[in-house]
Structure formats: C-alpha cells, structure tokens
C-alpha cells in the first residue's frame, strides 16, 4: 500500500484531468446528491459521498448506445466506431465494483459482448472505501463492503492523506504520474482496516437472512402472499431496475433521421415495465404487476445464481432510496418473505455452487458485436395465405446457415428493427425458408419486399430438436396454426429419404381456424404419400362455399383419433399458447411419458444470445435454453404455460 | 413523389404548430422529404388532398366537427398534434360546466340575441380529435417535442409506426440521472405519464403533469396512494389528474354511470 499527501493527491488528479489523452470521471455533487460525471477540477471529486443516483454501470452499458450506424442506401456498410480515449473512473465503492464484476460475468459469459468488453478494457477503475454510509445501504448484510478484485487502484481517504492500493499494472502506470508516493506505515494500514470494518459492520439494516440464503428462501416462497401485497402498491415505473447496478436488461431500437441515415440503439429496459415481455402479436407474458415484481427478486436471488453462481444484489440501497411507494427495498421485502414463510429450510444441495468472480476467464477472441447482422438475399417469395408468405433466403457469404431443426434467426431490416423467426426448412438445403406473418413492424416491411432484396440475418439461435434422441421412435407432430413452419424443419428432415429409415411411424396433426389458413397444402399432400406417414387435418370452422375434406373441430380432437403407439412415440407440439395445456393434458391422459413430450415456446427473443432478458420463462432463456423444450424440464415452471 | 403534408388548427394556442415552424435548421431537411401544402401559420396556400394531415386543437362546436370530417375525407393519414388534439387540452376542464354557464362566464356582457343561433357560439363542448374522426397516430405533448415530431414524420415517410413510447416518464428521468422530485418533497405524475418528452419538466425541477396522457396500462390506484402519502388532499389529487387529462376523468364518470 502507498500513501500520498492530500495536496499531492489533488495535484495527481489535476495532472490526469490536464492530460488530454484521458477522460477523467469521478464522483461529484449534484445538488444534495451525488453522481459519477466528468471532473473539471480536483475539487469536484467527492470521496466523502454516500451513494450516487445511478451506478457506474452507465459507463460500461450506457443508457443509450449506438450499436451501429449506416445509410439506408447501403445498409450493410456499417460504419466502424471511433476508438474512445481511456476512461479513468475515480471513487467507485466496493459494492459497485462487485456489481461490475458480476456484469463482467454476465456480458463475457458464452457470447462475449465486444462493445462491453471494449469499454471495460478501456477503463482504469479506481475504487474508494465508503466513508459515509447511506441510510438505505445494506452492503454489510450482503458481504459487499470489501472487494478483492476488479479494480486498478483503490483509495482510502484519511483526510490529510490518501492511502492507495495498487492492484494492476494499469493502475501502477497511472500512479507513476503522481509525485511523492511513499509506502504506507502500519498505523496507516490499520486505519484503512478500521474504516472498512466499521463500514461493513454498520451497513446492515437488520437483514434477517444471509445472502446465500436468498436462494432457498425464494425457492420455497414463489407463492408467498408478499408478492401480491407489495405489488398492489407498485407503480410499475421501472425505477428499481434502472437504478440497480446488477440489472443489465436492455432493448434495441432502430432510428432513422431526415437524411436517410439509420442507427440501431441499445437502451436500458426493465422487467417491471409492461411492454418488456410483449411480443409482436400483442401478447404480454407478464401482464400482472405481481409477476413482474416477483420476477425482479427472483432474478436477483435465484435465476442469476442458477446461471452464474452469485446473488445479484450488492446492497447499495439505490432501489430503496428511489422507489416512491417504498416497496423495492430488498431488506424489507426479503425480511417480509422470511417472516411470512411458514417453514424455511436452508437447502444446501439445491444451492448453486458459488463462483469466484476472480475465476472468470474471458476469451477475448470470442468477443463479437452481438447485434451485427450478416447480409442475405431473398431468393424466392411465395404467398401461402392472405397473411403468410414464405421467404427463401441465402446468406451472401455463400455459406450454409448451419442450423438444426427448431432453431430461429433474427431477421433484420436496418431502420426498422429485428424480429425472431423460426426456420421452416430442414438443415440439408443451402438456402433456408422463413414463413412470416405480417404482425409487426419488421414483418410488415418484409411483406413489401421483393425477390433479390437484402435482409440482415443473425443466428441460428437457440436449442432446436434433438434429432438423434428420436431415432428408432415413432413421431407425432401436433401443429396448430403457425406452429407448422417450425415443425416443418423437423418433419422435412425426418421424411428426407436419407433419414427416413432412422425413424418409425410419422403422424402429423395439423389444425387451423379456417381452410383459407392452411399452410403447405400440396407439401402435406406429398408427405401423405410417403410410406408409414399418416396426416390428419382439421379446421375450427368451414365457412359456406369453401372446400374442406378434413375434420371440423379443435386439434385436440385429432389426438385420440391418430392411433399412435403411446409407448414408443415422441410427441412434438407447436402452436399458439392456448393449445399447449390442452394437448399436453390429452397426451398425459393417454399415458405418454412426460419426457417424450416436446414443445417449442414463443417469447420476446430480442437479442438471441441470453443477454437482453426479455424472453425469460422463470430462470430459462427461451433464446438459448429453448425455444424447443422437453416438457419434463419445464412442467414445473409457473411461467411456461400460463 | 414527396408526400404532401398539411397542418390545421382548432381550439388551441397554436403552440404546437409554432414548434414545427421553429424547427430551425431542420426545416430545410424537412422540406427535402415532404411538400408542405397547407400551413396557415406560415403560408397561404391551400390544397385539395393530403397524404398526412396534422390536426392541432380540441374539437369544440358543430362547425368544427364538420370541418374536421371534411379534412379526414381529404387525407390518407391523420395525426393528432399535441395535447389538445390528443386529449382535449386544458380547455376540456370547462366541460365540467354547461355550455350556457361557460358562455356567461367568458362573455358576461354579450347580448342573448348575438349568441343565440350563432354557429360560432353553438354548444361549445371540448372533444379530442379521436372522438370525432378516426385518428391514425398521435404526437402527444403540450407543446409537442420538436425532435419527436421529426421522428414521427420520418417514420411515416418510411411506412413505419411512429415511435411513441408506452413506458412512463420515470424511465427517461432515471436515465438522465435526475434527482427524483418525490425525494425532495415534490410530487409528479411521471410514474404513470407517457414518456417521449425526455422528462423535460422534471429535468428542470418542475413536476410532470402528464400532458402526454398516461401510459396504456397505468397503475392509477398506486399513483393515487403515493400522492395521498405525500399529504395531498382528494381535491389536490383530482387537480393533478385533470390538468391535461380530464378526458380520462370524463371517461371514468361515464363508465361508472
């Protein structure tokens, strides 16, 4: 540890500010509160702050971030971002550094976000001990009053001097700009320890449970009355998520200006907001405020621990400070849940193994701009019905998409946006098919496009059908409405002459509202002619004057008629949300084992890589863990079939 | 061909059109992409038909309804411009009294014979534009935000749905790192008011009065609880709820009948 006099420290900060090659930001006053912002002089820096309005996440994931820019005339000529000056960020409290470490784990796990990593690497992070404790802070209860890693330098302000811990080479190099740095004495080191211990001990606020107990407590209290009681007062304004250092969800929108330039902008989003879970068709998957309110706590205490191994609350107290009806405070809410929990058993076996945030290995070569689409060309358009068209698409790179049946892509039109679309063709072909109903911005625009037009493609994404698992078995396909296109990717694969021998009897049930909505009529006719394939079709109603030779009634009526072998069949269901509970129940009544029921679910898949948070079904990410799920794995998830 | 756009004013202060007239350097870019064919505030031209008609003001009298319906017939797209057209404006508060009472209050010295059977004084009662004709899109706000006007215009030219947010003002306010007015003893409608203004009032220390209306599913009960907790009386809360959004109160009254 080093020590520098206050005067020399201030001169050091002045040197950094005057050094034109650096952006120097730190904690400063905003009226009676504090914010991180650009320092204009060393006097601006307020290491005596209690907490800032927004956490420093805004530096790594800005409120508004342009992901890419282009002219609409040449949408794939994406302009590169200019390199930024290195950022020196001064005065970050330990709990906020831990939140940034968690953010590292989130954004640099699996699909590594290049823009995030670039910003993070471009920052010299200087921590600071908490000298004044905010009355809502409870980092003492979350064990986040001290931090071991994630920073370059760490300051402890001792009034007339500042103790500085050097953590990295980057930090050491920066400190070389300071004059008169000496080694800290034992007394000075003891003072630092005393300040830390005092802060950790004081910022507790009577939280009744340990951070590691959040998991079991929440696990056992999904139906606690606390969620409803508290959310009755919730404004659903999103504040608690926006000011939270460990809320990372975002939305992406396209903007066009008067000159015909377009940009794709990422912005903070929050699960408390209604449209967070709204899909293009208008369904909102967490309509009830209670469900949104509960989701926030479960994400912090159960879902992220499941996925990444840490409790995603660092006890900063920002949500409690800024929630107007005062219902967002984790101390109050977790204590309420605890008090209302009849029995509470700390279940060590169920607890996810906690990871050391030290241990995160980031494969920097893996970092990619997660939202950049690849150019592709529409090679064919076929009108299927009044509302659906089939688009055949080829990547301009000439490569195969390389998907598995059941996966999806993000189709992108610059200036308009992206939409997740299931792939409707088998993996074998070089080009791939998308069946698109015009229900939203992107899909409306697609319907106006012509053969030869360009679109952007990202993907393939998600977990598709496990074609090997079904080998040697019979297959029952239940396709309701627009469920047929994604199932077609598997049906066509199974019925392909090269693969047909691997599978037994194939039964295809297809239902839609009226005969005019039938998709792939002639193709279904061809499937029917293949040996050991049985097709049954139904419509809800047949208006006068229309031709129909199939059944009339709901698709559920076809299941008992289909004569499949319950003991040896995998059953795949895809359709609108309403069909799942009914079809599944009939299959279970017919003694089909749970693990042989396979479903594909729709949610708002915005990023496709498990980052933006929109498509979550409880702890699962539909865009990564799904969209194809084994019923057995999700049957107990309350949000799966609501 | 450039789309033909036109502006029309009804009962209003014409401040929203002024926002458009004051677009400054953007005016040239706007003129590049559209033909302004009718805009009384800045020119005298008239046109037979329009691609986009922007309507400012609340609709007050039978003659206004007639004029508005005629505009609707001549335009492909109709956009309500600003709070008066969107919700009926502050003047809608006068709907609490009868037309007769209002006339007496405003023109106390007018002679009965001048007012009676005069179409300019016939049954004044404020309505939002969508209560008279079909409205395709709304640009909310008192006054409208110039940047948002351009965003909507560009969206319409490109055949996109105008990007009017359906989340509360709090979202924009938080992103700006403003000090929440509730934490310094003030109170605002931000938690249920529709964003898109960039939280301009709270950013300058003024309370939001929901001039852009509410989000589509406001948790109104929770908002009233919060205002009560701040010590506001039922009257004061009603005042907050009616300044720009008396339309909702009227609707509530109608529904409870």
Mean per-residue pLDDT, B9-15: 95
Exposure letters A198-227 (e unless 16+ CB within 10 A, then b): bbbeebbbebebebbbbbbbbbbbeebebb
Q: Do A274 and B191 touch (CB under 8 A)?
A: no
Nearest to A243 by CA among A328, A333, A148, A167: A328
- Whether A233 and chain B come into contact, CB under 8 Å, resolves to yes
- Distance CA(A513)–CA(A162), nearest Å, equals 73
> Which residues 277-316 on chain A approach chain B with CB closer than 8 angstroms?
289
For A173, A357, A602, A616, B146, the CA distances from A264, given in Å and listed in that order, are 37, 32, 24, 23, 21
The sign of the dihedral angle between the CA atoms of A176, A178, A183, A189 is negative
Spell out the SS3 assignment of A436-483: EECCCHHHHHHHCCCCCCEEEEEEEECECCCCCCCCCCEEEEEEEHHH
Q: What is the ipTM of this complex?
A: 0.93
Q: What is the pLDDT of residue B100?
A: 85
pLDDT band with cut points at 50, 70 and 90 for residue B120: confident
For residue A385, pLDDT over 90 is answered with: yes
| A window 390-449, beta carbon within 8 A of B | 415-416, 441, 444-445, 448
What residues have CB less than 8 Å from A528, skipping those under 6 apart? A534, A535
Closest residue in chain B to residue A232, using alpha carbons only: B222
Cis peptide before A459 (omega within 30 of 0): no
Distance from CA of A288 to the nearest CA of B (A): 11
Contact criterion met (CB < 8 Å) for B158 and A256: yes
Is the confidence at residue B192, as pLDDT, over 80? yes
Residue of A278 and B72 predicted with greater confidence: B72
d(CA B227, CA B221): 10
- Cβ-nearest to A235 among B160, B163, B223: B223
Q: Where in chain A is the domain with CATH 2.40.30.10?
A: 374-461
- Between the alpha carbon of residue A357 and those of residues A105, A148, A330, the distances in Å are 7, 9, 22
In chain A, which residue's Cα lies nearest the Cα of B195?
A237
Question: How large a percentage of chain A has pLDDT more than 70?
Answer: 98
A56 touches B at CB < 8 Å: no
Q: Which of residues 243-262 of A touch B (CB under 8 A)?
A: 243, 253, 255-259
Residue range B151-174, pLDDT digits in tens:
999 999 998 999 999 999 999 999
**pLDDT at residue number A352:** 67
DSSP state of A393: E
Tell me the pLDDT tens digit for each residue of B31-48: 899 999 988 878 888 889
Instruction: Give me the residue spans of the domains in chain B.
Output: 4-157, 169-256
Contacts of A275 in chain B (CB under 8 A): 166-167
Instruction: With CB atoms and an 8 Å threshold, state whether B183 touches A63.
Output: no
Residues of A in contact with B180 (CB under 8 A): 239, 322, 324
Q: Which of B29, B175, B216 sits opposite A63 (nearest CB)?
A: B175
- Condensed to tens digits (0 to 9), the pLDDT of residues B62-109 reads 999 999 999 999 999 999 999 999 999 999 999 999 888 888 888 888
For B220, the closest chain A residue by CA position comes to A235
Give the model's pLDDT for residue A358: 60
Of B153, B175, B219, the CB nearest to A268: B175
Residues 6+ away with beta carbon under 8 Å from B150: A257, A258, B23, B26, B30
Per the DSSP assignment, residues forming a β-bridge with A90 are A26, A126
Q: How many CB atoms lie within 10 A of CB A559?
A: 23
Binary contact (B175, A273; C-beta < 8 A): no
Three-state secondary structure readout of B68-97 = HHHHHHHEEEEEEEHHHHHHCCHHHHHHHC
Q: Does B222 sit within 8 Å of A30, measured CB to CB?
A: no
Cβ <8 Å between A54 and B216: no
8 Å CB contact of B167 and A273: yes
Q: Is A29 on the interface with B (CB under 8 A)?
A: no
| SS3 assignment, position B139 | strand
Whether A325 sits inside 8 A of B225 (CB atoms) is yes
- Sign of the CA dihedral running B120, B122, B128, B132: negative
Q: Per the CB < 8 Å rule, is B29 touching A258?
A: yes
Phi-psi region of B199 (alpha: psi -120 to 50; beta: other; left: phi over 0): left
* Phi/psi of residue B215, nearest 5 degrees: -65, 170
Are the C-beta atoms of A294 and A300 separated by less than 8 Å?
no
The token duo for A556 is 């559920």
Contacts with A321 from chain B: Cβ below 8 Å:
183
Helix (H, G, I), strand (E, B) or coil at A526: helix
The backbone region for A465, taken as left when phi is positive above 0, alpha when psi lies in -120 to 50, beta otherwise, is beta
Would you call B179 and A30 a contact, using CB atoms and an 8 Å cutoff? Answer: yes
CATH 3.40.50.80 boundaries in chain A: 474-600
Q: How far is CA A603 from the centre of its chain?
A: 12
Cβ distance of A33 and B179 shorter than 8 Å: yes
Contact of A97 with A150, CB cutoff 8 Å: yes
Give the pLDDT of residue A356. Answer: 60
Distance (Å) from the alpha carbon of A369 to chain B's nearest alpha carbon: 24
- Which of A259, A273, A321 is facing B29, going by the closest CB pair? A259
The arithmetic mean of pLDDT across residues A465-482, rounded, is 95
Q: Using alpha carbons, select from B124, B139, B143 the residue that is nearest to residue B61.
A: B124
Strand order in the sheet with B50-56: B35-39, B4-9, B50-56, B75-81, B137-139
Which pLDDT value is given to residue B47?
A: 86
Res A29 pLDDT > 90: yes
DSSP state of A300: I
Mean pLDDT of A56-83: 88
Contact A424, A485 (CB under 8 A): yes
Nearest CA-CA distance, residue B191 and chain A, Å:
5
A32 touches chain B (CB under 8 A): yes
**Higher pLDDT among residues A581 and A545, named by residue:** A581
* Coil, strand or helix at A484: helix
Chain B residue closest to A254 (CA)?
B163
Say if A365 is an interface residue toward chain B (CB within 8 Å). Answer: no
Weakest mean pLDDT among A355-364, B56-65, B175-184: A355-364
Contact B170 A32 (CB under 8 A): no
Beta-carbon separation of B170 and A235 below 8 A: yes
- Of the listed ranges A98-107, A390-399, A512-521, B118-127, the one predicted with least confidence: B118-127
Given its phi and psi angles, is residue A311 left (phi above 0), alpha (psi -120 to 50 degrees) or beta? Answer: beta
Task: Give the orientation angle of helix A521-529 with respect to helix A484-495, to 10 degrees.
Answer: 30
Task: Average the pLDDT over A5-15 and give the result.
Answer: 96
Please report where in the chains the tokens 């920002």 appear, as a residue: A318
Q: How far is B158 from chain A (nearest CA, A)?
A: 9
- Decide if A73 contacts A272 (C-beta within 8 A): no
State yes or no: cis peptide before A279, omega within 30 of 0. no
Confidence of residue B25 (pLDDT cuts 50, 70, 90): confident
* Positive/negative CA dihedral, A497, A501, A505, A510: negative
User: In A, which residues are within 8 Å of B170 by CB distance?
Assistant: 235, 237-239, 242
In the sheet that A250-256 helps form, which strands lie side by side, from edge to edge?
A: A64-71, A261-268, A250-256
**Mutating which of B36, B150, B180, B195 best tests the A interface, going by the most A Cβ atoms within 10 A?**
B180
Phi, psi of B146 (to 5 degrees): -60, -40
What b/e sequence results for B188-209 when a residue is b if at least 16 CB atoms lie within 10 Å of its CB, and e otherwise?
Answer: bbbbbbbbbbbbebbeeeeebb
Q: How far is CA A104 from CA A99, B79, B109, in A?
A: 9, 45, 73
Is B226's CB within 8 Å of A325's CB? yes
Nearest CA in chain B to A55: B177
Which residues in chain B are closer than 8 Å to A256, comparing Cβ atoms? Answer: 154-155, 158, 160
pLDDT of residue A359: 57
For residue B215, which residues of chain A lie inside 8 Å, CB to CB?
Answer: 274
High-pLDDT (> 70) share of chain B, %: 100
Alpha helix positions (H), A578-634: 579-589, 631-634
Name the residue in chain A with its Cα closest to that of B229.
Answer: A325
pLDDT at residue B135, as a whole number: 98
Question: Strand locations in A93-188, DSSP E?
Answer: 123-128, 153-157, 161-166, 182-183
Does residue A586 surpass a pLDDT of 70?
yes
**Rg for chain B, CA atoms, rounded:** 19
Q: Counting beta carbons within 10 angstroms of the beta carbon of residue A255, is it exposed (0 to 12), middle (13 to 18) or buried (19 or more)?
A: middle
Work out the average pLDDT over B111-124: 81
Q: CB of A89 within 8 A of CB of A74?
A: no
CA distance A258 to A272: 33
Total Cβ atoms within 10 A of residue A528: 13
Contact B222 A325 (CB under 8 A): yes
Please determine, for residue A354, whether its predicted confidence score (pLDDT) is greater than 70.
Answer: no
For domain A374-461, give the CATH number: 2.40.30.10
Beginning with the edge strand found earlier in the chain, give each strand of the sheet holding A23-30 in spatial order: A33-38, A23-30, A87-92, A123-128, A153-157, A161-166, A2-5, A182-183
B222 contacts A232? CB cut-off 8 A: yes
**Residues in Cβ contact with B20 at an 8 Å cutoff, skipping those fewer than 6 apart:** B7, B39, B54, B144, B146, B149
Q: What own/partner pairs with CB < 8 Å and gap ≥ 24 does A307-311 have?
A: A307/A619, A308/A102, A308/A105, A308/A106, A308/A109, A308/A355, A309/A352, A309/A353, A309/A354, A309/A355, A310/A102, A310/A105, A310/A354, A310/A355, A310/A357, A311/A142, A311/A211, A311/A212, A311/A214, A311/A215
Among chain B residues, the shortest Cα distance to A269 is held by B171
For A441, which of B161, B178, B222 is closest by C-beta distance? B161
Closest CB from A256, A274, A415 relative to B217: A274
Q: How far is A238 from chain B (nearest CA, A)?
A: 6
- A·B CB contacts under 8 A: 106
Task: Give the residue among B219, B191, B59, B84 at the shortest CA–CA distance from B141.
Answer: B84
The nearest CA of chain B is from the CA of A258 a distance in Å of 6
A23 torsion bin: left (phi>0), alpha (psi -120 to 50), beta (else)? beta
The dihedrals phi and psi of B185, each to the nearest 5 degrees, come to 80, 5
Strands A616-617 and A597-600: unpaired
Chain B hits for A325, Cβ within 8 Å = 222, 225-226, 229
A403: left (phi over 0), alpha (psi -120 to 50) or beta: beta
Per-residue pLDDT, A355: 62
CA distance B247 to B243: 10
CATH code given to domain B4-157: 3.40.50.700
The CATH number given to A474-600 is 3.40.50.80
- Band (pLDDT 50/70/90 cuts) for residue A401 is very high
Q: What is the rounded average pLDDT for all residues in chain A?
A: 93
Instruction: Quote the DSSP letter at residue B142.
Output: S
Nearest Cβ partner for B219 among A54, A236, A258: A236
Residues with Cβ within 8 Å of B246's Cβ and at least 6 positions away in sequence, in order, are B87, B88, B92, B93, B95, B96
Q: What's the rounded Cα separation, in Å, for the pair A269 and A571?
A: 37
**Cα separation of A629 and A406, whole Å?**
10
When pLDDT is averaged across residues A576-584 and rounded to a whole number, the result is 93
Contacts of A323 in chain B (CB under 8 A): none
Measure CB to CB from residue A275 to each of B166, B174, B175 and give the nearest one.
B166
Q: Of A107-121, A613-627, B24-38, which one has max mean pLDDT?
A: A613-627
For residue A360, what pLDDT is reported? 64
Distances in whole angstroms, Cα of residue A419 to Cα of each of A261, A280, A517: 21, 8, 22
């Amino acid at each position: 540890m080093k020590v520098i006099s206050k005067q020399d420290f201030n001169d050091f900060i002045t040197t950094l500010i005057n050094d034109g090659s650096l952006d120097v930001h730190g904690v400063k006053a905003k009226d009676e509160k504090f914010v991180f912002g650009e320092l204009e002089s060393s006097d601006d820096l307020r290491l005596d702050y209690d907490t800032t309005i927004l956490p420093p996440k805004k530096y790594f994931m800005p409120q508004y971030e342009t992901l890419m820019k282009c002219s609409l005339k040449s949408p794939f000529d994406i302009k590169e971002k200019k390199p930024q000056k290195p950022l020196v960020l001064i005065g970050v409290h330990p709990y906020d550094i831990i939140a940034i470490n968690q953010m590292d784990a989130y954004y640099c796990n699996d699909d590594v976000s290049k823009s995030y990593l670039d910003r993070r690497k471009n920052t010299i992070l200087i921590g600071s001990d908490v000298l004044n404790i905010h009355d809502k802070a409870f980092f003492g209860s979350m064990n986040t009053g001290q931090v071991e890693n994630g920073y370059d330098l760490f300051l402890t302000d001792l009034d007339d001097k500042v103790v500085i811990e050097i953590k990295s080479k980057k930090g050491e190099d920066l400190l070389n700009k300071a004059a008169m740095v000496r080694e800290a004495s034992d007394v000075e080191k003891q003072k630092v320890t005393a300040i830390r211990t005092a802060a950790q001990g004081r910022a507790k606020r009577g939280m009744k449970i340990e951070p590691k107990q959040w998991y079991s407590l929440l696990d056992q209290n999904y139906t606690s009355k606390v969620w409803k009681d508290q959310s009755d007062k919730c404004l659903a304004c999103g504040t608690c998520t926006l000011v939270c250092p460990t809320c990372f969800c975002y939305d992406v929108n396209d903007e066009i200006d008067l000159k015909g330039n377009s940009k794709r902008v990422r912005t903070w989003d929050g699960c408390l907001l209604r449209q967070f879970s709204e899909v293009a068709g208008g369904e909102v998957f967490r309509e009830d405020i209670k469900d949104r309110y509960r989701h926030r706590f479960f994400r912090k205490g159960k879902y992220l621990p499941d996925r990444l191994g840490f409790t995603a609350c660092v006890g900063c107290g920002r949500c409690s400070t800024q929630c107007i009806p005062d219902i967002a405070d984790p101390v109050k809410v977790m204590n309420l849940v605890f008090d209302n929990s009849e029995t509470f058993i700390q279940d060590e076996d169920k607890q996810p193994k906690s990871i050391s945030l030290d241990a995160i290995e980031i494969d920097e070569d893996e970092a990619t701009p997660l939202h950049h689409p690849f150019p592709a060309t529409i090679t064919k358009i076929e009108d299927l019905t009044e509302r659906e068209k089939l688009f055949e698409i080829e990547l301009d790179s000439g490569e195969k998409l390389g998907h598995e049946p059941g996966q999806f892509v993000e189709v992108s039109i610059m200036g308009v946006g992206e939409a997740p679309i299931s792939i409707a063709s088998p993996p074998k072909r070089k080009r791939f098919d998308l069946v698109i109903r015009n229900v939203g911005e992107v899909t409306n625009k697609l319907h106006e496009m012509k053969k030869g037009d360009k679109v952007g493609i990202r993907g393939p994404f998600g977990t598709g059908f496990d074609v090997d698992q079904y080998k040697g078995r019979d297959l029952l396909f239940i396709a309701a409405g627009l469920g047929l296109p994604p199932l077609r990717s598997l049906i066509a694969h199974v019925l392909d002459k090269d693969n047909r021998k691997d599978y037994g009897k194939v039964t295809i049930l297809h239902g839609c509202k009226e005969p005019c909505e039938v998709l792939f009529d002639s193709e279904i006719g061809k499937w029917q002619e293949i040996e050991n394939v049985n097709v049954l079709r139904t419509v809800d109603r047949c208006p006068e004057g229309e031709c129909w030779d199939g059944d009339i009634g709901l698709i559920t009526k076809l299941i008992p008629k289909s004569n499949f072998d319950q003991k040896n069949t995998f059953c795949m269901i895809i359709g609108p949300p309403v069909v799942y509970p009914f079809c599944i129940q009939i299959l279970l009544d017919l003694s089909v084992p749970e693990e042989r029921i396979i479903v594909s679910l729709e949610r708002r898949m915005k990023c496709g890589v498990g980052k933006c948070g929109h498509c979550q079904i409880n702890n699962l990410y539909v865009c990564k863990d799904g969209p194809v799920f084994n019923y057995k794995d999700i049957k107990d998830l309350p949000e799966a079939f609501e | 061909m450039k789309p033909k756009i036109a502006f029309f004013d009804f009962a209003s202060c014409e401040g929203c059109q002024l926002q458009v007239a004051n677009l400054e350097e953007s005016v040239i870019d706007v003129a590049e992409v559209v033909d302004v064919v009718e805009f009384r505030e800045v020119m005298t031209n008239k046109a037979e038909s329009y691609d986009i008609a922007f309507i400012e003001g609340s609709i007050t009298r039978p003659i206004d309804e007639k004029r508005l319906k005629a505009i609707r017939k001549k335009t492909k797209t109709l956009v309500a411009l600003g709070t008066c057209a969107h919700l009926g404006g502050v003047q809608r508060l006068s709907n609490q009294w009868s037309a007769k009472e209002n006339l007496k209050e405003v023109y106390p010295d007018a002679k009965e014979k001048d007012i009676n059977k005069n179409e300019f004084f016939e049954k004044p009662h404020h309505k939002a534009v969508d209560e008279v004709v079909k409205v395709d899109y709304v640009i909310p706000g008192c006054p409208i935000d110039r940047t948002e006007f351009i965003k909507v215009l560009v969206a319409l030219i490109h055949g996109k749905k105008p990007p009017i947010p359906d989340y509360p003002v709090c979202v924009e306010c938080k992103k700006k790192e403003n000090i929440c007015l509730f934490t310094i003893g003030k109170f605002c409608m931000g938690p249920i008011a529709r964003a898109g203004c960039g939280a301009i009032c709270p950013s300058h220390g003024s309370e939001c009065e929901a001039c852009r209306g509410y989000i589509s599913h406001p948790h109104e009960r929770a908002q009233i609880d919060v205002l009560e907790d701040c010590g506001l009386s039922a009257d004061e809360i009603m005042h907050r709820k009616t300044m720009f959004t008396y339309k909702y109160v009227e609707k509530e009254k109608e529904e409870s009948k």
